[in-house]
Amino acid sequence: MPSSVTLSMFVKMPQSIVLFLFSLIFLSSSSDASVNDFCVADLKGPDSPAGYFCKSPAKVTVNDFVYLA
């Protein structure tokens, strides 16, 4: 007959697996919009205490992502 510790482990294991799977599903279904968002600073616009405003996505070009030092 298994000890009470072993029996307790078998009772808690399905709960842990369910919690892990729920967390995995929740994280994978969260919106990836934050990953795809970008903000290119509009250096021609006014400077505010929080920084520059973002350019309109229609006005963003490839050159906005290239830095030549």
Q: pLDDT tens for residues 29-58?
A: 666 655 567 789 898 888 888 888 989 889
pTM (2 d.p.): 0.40
CB < 8 Å & 24+ apart, contacts of 37-42: 40/64, 40/65
* pLDDT value, residue 4: 59
Residue at 17: amino acid letter: I
- What confidence tens digit (pLDDT) does each residue in 55-69 have? 988 999 999 888 887
CA proximity to 55, closest of 45, 65, 66 = 45
Q: Residue 64: count other Cβ atoms within 10 Å of its Cβ.
A: 14
